[in-house]
Amino acid sequence: MKPHPASAAAQGLLNCHSCGLLSKNVPNASDRCPRCGTHLHMRKPNSLTRTWALLIAAFILYIPANLLPVMHTASIIYEEDDTIMSGVIYLWTSGSWPLAILVFCASVTVPLAKLIALTILAITAQRKSTWRQQERTKLYRMVEFVGRWSMLDIFVVALMVGLVHFQSLATISAGPGALAFASVVVITMFAAMSFDPRLIWDPEPKDDD
Amino acid sequence: MTDHPQNTPPQSPDEEQVPTAKAVPKRRLPSLIWLIPIVAALAGGWIAVHAYLQRGPTITITFETADGIEAGKTKIKYKDVDIGSVTGVVLTDDRQHIKVTAQLAHATDDLLGDKTRFWVVRPRISGGSVSGLGTLLSGAYIGIDPTRQASSKRDFTGLEQAPIVTTRQAGREFVLHAQDMGSIDVGAPLFFRRVQVGEVSAYKLDKDGKGITMKAFVHAPYDQYVTTNTRFWHASGVDVTLDANGLKIDTQSLASIAIGGIAFQAPPGQDMAEAAPADTQFTLASDRITAMTEADRERAPFVLYFRESLRGLSIGAPVDFRGINIGEVKAINFEFSKEEHSLLMPVTIDLYPERLRGRLKGGDEVVKTDTMRIKILNTMVEHGLRAQLRTGNLITGQLYVALDFVPTAAKASIDWKQFPPSLPTINGSLTQLQDTALSIAKKLDSLPIEAMGDHADEALRNLNVVLDNSNALINRLKNEVAPEAQNTLKQAQEAINQAKQTLSPDAPVQQNMNDTLQEVAKAAQAFRDLSDYLSRHPDALLRGQKEDAK
């Protein structure tokens, strides 16, 4: 529908990130900016590979993040290990449905949705699909935006650990699940960063040609 | 950004102005980014493997009620260490019990075996102690008494009450047979010389309902004091004895008064025997004295044929040999003897030879064999050993069996062929007394009581006549003598009155008499003067009175 858009990559041109100098690409070599020496690349290097690697790591860590306890509560009366899901269930059964839904969304659904979204983006980019490119770009922007808000749980646990520390009376400490969960969130953010959204649009000329 | 659609024509910018990028040879190294998923996979894998390896056995326990048990919350604790938690609570298929599924920690397999016991720890007050108070706040937990021998058993039936004694406690358990429970309950203390050394761990009614079998656990190292000759007795409550030394109140401890208890000790004077092995059976006596006298492991039954009333003789009555209790009455029967055509009263007794043995010099050796015992008894019977019923208590008429030497008794012997052998008897002291009374009565009977009565009658009649006569005499006296006597008395009274008047001080006779007497006195005075003068002047009689020459 649209005329073929011109892109720097199609012209064989590179833009330096540091000094903004435009330079010509030398094929089959690692390019450097002729002015400041910064690494130059047409697209984020190994974007898909990195995205895939980080995605797989995030998927793997997602399992312990949900199965292992994120918070260990010890008081004189009882000791308890809470996983994310047990917390959600506790909130739900104790009547705090809005809070339960919020925690469930923020801690279970959103990270998973992010992972699935990134996977879809990576798959389509790999297959050089031209399917709903605009929506995919929008999706990517959302993923990148949401990323920093997924650490809610970790913030709660960190706060609790810091606040509730009455030695013999009651102590809260972070469980191994918290580490896994934090890793999932961070790795997902890196995965989103390493994904080059330009790849979504790259296949177009090919299709049109 | 750089690639957003532009409307510029697809030509490159000025070729001259665009420098060519500096080319650096490409390094063909595998991307380091793959380290991240590898590390994640390793970490996740390690966690999974660790979790799998750390996973302990899953067990099911059946309880009566799920009171206090909560899936996901209730822990299983051994020595107050969490070794697992309850993962599920469901009703059994028959809806009679509940089934608890629990996940145990790693390396707890050796705690599970056929004899592993589980129970729910709740607050409990018993046996003078309070336990499980912590569960008031924390909620119930499941306690475990592990086994010594692990097995593959994974389905258990939980106890309703915590066991008193756990398997890994050092000590030994003994079996006690008692007539009744007294005030003992599970957890009741066991005392050895007033030191608490154990507890009653279980009890059950015997199948025939004739007694109680208890299990008593004695902790190490005190279990060595339970020897084969140890006696056990109820130490519940207060033991009050009144003897020659006065009133004595004896109790094991204040707690045992309230909750009961059991004491044990070897009989005084006996050497320490070897320690009794676990599960040795003992008899639980009702009190210390019974326990100490009782050594009835060896019984020698005998039958005694009495020809008198057994009223007052009860089962359990003592058999006494010169004050030493050496046995007891086991049964009282009734038998018709064809040969003698009479009714016999066979009384079965048990003699406890052990009670005599210690008192026999070199006892053990002598009486060990049966033949020796038979010989000794035969000799004793020859010398007049007889059984006799005696009155133990004059008020209640309780009888006891006394064995004693009666040299005057008719000859008898023991028939060892029948079982139990019968010991010869003589009539009891009461019967002898009755015989004597009877003979006295007979003598009284032969007296001529009727004739004596007749004589007495006659005498009484005579006496009656005498009495009649005397009565008439008295009447006469009353009618004839009495009035005259009265007159006489009146006259006498008058006479006395007159005399009184005559003799009163103001009577004329009295006055005259006074005057006369005064005159007489004066005359006497004059006479005295004269006689005095004459004694000094006898010559005056001749010459007359001289004039005073003054």
Average pLDDT of the segment spanning B426-452? 80
For residue B142, give how far its alpha carbon lies from the nearest alpha carbon of chain A (Å): 14
Average pLDDT of the segment spanning B268-281? 78
Q: Which of B308, B311, B312, B285 is nearest to B296 (CA)?
A: B285
Strand-pair category, B398-405 with B318-321 = parallel
Cα nearest neighbour of B23 on chain A = A31
CB contact (8 A) between residue A6 and residue B47: no
How does pLDDT run across B22-38, given as a tens digit for each residue?
Answer: 777 666 666 677 888 88
Measured between CB atoms, which of A2, A46, A198 is closest to B3?
Answer: A198
Give the DSSP per-residue string, B240-289. EEEETTEEEEE-S-HHHHHH--EEEEPPTTSPP-PBPPTT-EEEEESSHH
Q: Which chain B positions have a beta carbon within 8 Å of A53's beta carbon?
A: 31, 33-34, 36-37
Confidence of residue B491 (pLDDT cuts 50, 70, 90): very high
Cβ neighbours for B510, distance < 8 A, ≥ 6 positions apart: B503, B504
Measured between CB atoms, which of B26, B39, B138 is closest to A78?
Answer: B138
For residue B122, give how far its alpha carbon lies from the nearest alpha carbon of chain A (Å): 14
Number of H helices, E strands in chain A: 10, 7
- Most confident of the following: A204-208, B153-157, B296-300: B153-157
**Least trusted range by pLDDT, from A110-124, B121-135, B488-502:** B121-135
Residue B368 has a pLDDT of 57
CB-CB neighbours of B325 under 10 Å: 14
CB contact (8 A) between residue A30 and residue B26: yes
Cα nearest neighbour of B34 on chain A = A53
Residue B369 has a pLDDT of 63
Q: To probe the interface with B, which of A7, A25, A60, A70 has the most B CB atoms within 10 Å?
A: A60
For residue B86, give how far its alpha carbon lies from the nearest alpha carbon of chain A (Å): 13
Residue B73: pLDDT over 70: yes
Distance between CA atoms of residues A186 and A111, nearest Å? 10
Residue B550 has a pLDDT of 47
CB contact (8 A) between residue B21 and residue A50: no
- Check whether the bond before B221 is cis (ω within 30° of 0): yes
Average pLDDT of the segment spanning B121-135? 69
Q: Which chain B positions have a beta carbon within 8 Å of A194's beta carbon?
A: 33
Q: Which of A16, A35, A58 is nearest to A186 (CA)?
A: A58
Measured between CB atoms, which of A8, A14, A194 is closest to B3?
Answer: A8
For residue B72, give how far its alpha carbon lies from the nearest alpha carbon of chain A (Å): 9
Nearest-10 crossing angle of helices A84-93, A97-104: 160
Query: Cα(first)–Cα(last) distance of chain B, in Å?
Result: 208
Confidence of residue A206 (pLDDT cuts 50, 70, 90): very low
Cα nearest neighbour of A25 on chain B = B21
Element (H, E) at B337: strand B335-337
How does pLDDT run across A157-189, given as a tens digit for each residue?
Answer: 777 777 777 766 778 888 888 888 888 888 888
Q: Which of A156, A161, A179, A155 is nearest to A62 (CA)?
A: A179
For residue B267, give how far its alpha carbon lies from the nearest alpha carbon of chain A (Å): 51
How does pLDDT run across A28-51, given as a tens digit for each residue?
Answer: 667 778 888 777 777 777 788 888
Q: Which of A97, A89, A72 is nearest to A176 (CA)?
A: A72
CB contact (8 A) between residue B36 and residue A78: no
For residue B113, give how far its alpha carbon lies from the nearest alpha carbon of chain A (Å): 28
Q: Does B31 touch chain A (CB under 8 A)?
A: yes
CB contact (8 A) between residue A14 and residue B10: no
Residue B116 has a pLDDT of 86
Percent pLDDT > 90 in chain B is 7
Measured between CB atoms, which of A22, A40, A64 is closest to B18?
Answer: A22
How does pLDDT run across B350-376, given as a tens digit for each residue?
Answer: 887 766 665 555 445 545 567 777 888
Q: What is the ipTM of this complex?
A: 0.71
Tokens of B431: 């019967």
CB contact (8 A) between residue A30 and residue B27: yes
Q: Does B53 touch chain A (CB under 8 A)?
A: no
Number of H helices, E strands in chain B: 12, 27
For residue A31, give how far its alpha carbon lies from the nearest alpha carbon of chain B (Å): 5
Whole-number mean pLDDT of chain B? 80
CB-CB neighbours of B234 under 10 Å: 27
Measured between CB atoms, which of B6, B20, B34 is closest to A53?
Answer: B34
Farthest CA pair distance, chain B: 236
Cβ neighbours for B60, distance < 8 A, ≥ 6 positions apart: B99, B100, B101, B102, B154, B155, B156
